[in-house]
Each structure stands twice: as structure tokens, then as C-alpha cells.
Amino acid sequence: MDVNSLPPALLWTLGLALILIGLVGTLLPALPGVVAIFGGVFLIAWIDGFEKIGVFPLVVLAVLTSLAFVVDIVSALLGAKRVGASRTALVGAALGTLFGLPFGLFGLILGPFAGAVIGEFITRQRLDDAARVGFGAWMGLLIGTLAKLALAFAMIGVAIAAYVID
């Protein structure tokens, strides 16, 4: 089946569904987040031959998408660092975030916390310090999620502005 033969209304529906799924996925890691938003906007741009949403807005959206990935990794590290984490705890938080991402919300909550706690405990051998650092990593991740949500809304705003301003 040739994609060009599909009705534009169906493609619009798919594009808008991807954007909505991406918005929800920004909060629920089991769903794709900003990548789905980018995909939905790209599909909508493609429908009209990139006339309304051209190259520049798509580049801006690609940069915002990349920034959201950086926020995912860096936010837990900054939270742990803020409460005085050791280098081992920072590595643990980063690894915990990466390993936790595929396991949905549970992995996203537990991964950076556990990684930071294990790393800090290896370095300082004190459970209270390790728990404090783990909590800092988790708080950083929470703040990072809010930042990703802001980036998601910014992406949607850029797409709407590009489509309307033409």
C-alpha cells in the first residue's frame, strides 16, 4: 500500500494521535514521549509537502527532542550532586536511569534511586548518606520530568506557530 494513497484525514488523525501519545509518554515512560511528538509533527508536515511546517521548525523540534534526552540523563545526576553525592553515586545514578528506562514507571523511579544508593554506599559505607543521595537523584529526575513536559509543550507550541503563521 502506498502511503500517498491514504486519505489526508487518516494521516492527520495518526499525526495528532502520535502527538497526544507523546505528551502522555512524557509523564509515563512506558509510552514514547518527545520522539512521538516529533514523529506526529513530522507526519503532519509531510502531509502538505512541508509547506506549512518547513525545515526550520523541524530542526527546532529535533533540537528540543535531543534536549529532552539530555534532561533524562542529567537531571538525576544534578539532583544527586546537589546533595553531595560521590562520583561513584553519580555513575550509579546515570546507570540506574539508563537501565531503568525500559522498565516503565517502576524502573524510572527505582533505577536512579537504586543506582545512586548503591554507588554512594560503595564509597561511604553509610546507609543514611546513601539514602539521602538516592532521594536527591530521584528528586532530580522528578524535576527533569517537569522540564521534559515543558519541552513537550514547547514542541507543540512551535508546531502550532509554524502551521498557523505560515
pLDDT in tens, 28-49: 766 789 999 999 999 999 998 9
Nearest CA to 68 out of 21, 14, 111, 25 is that of 25
Range with the poorest average pLDDT among 9-23, 93-107, 133-147: 93-107
* Run of H or E including 56: helix 55-82
CB contact at 8 A, 53 and 41:
yes
Q: Does residue 105 have a pLDDT over 90?
A: no
CB contact at 8 A, 80 and 137:
yes
Q: Where are the domains of the chain?
A: 3-165
DSSP label of 88: H
Measured in Å, how far apart are the chain's first and last C-alpha atoms? 31
pLDDT in tens, 127-161: 888 899 988 988 888 899 899 999 999 999 999 99
C-alpha cell at 60: 527546532
The predicted pLDDT at position 41 comes to: 98
Report residue 48: phi and psi, to 5°.
Answer: -105, 25
For the residues 114-127, what does the mean pLDDT come to? 90
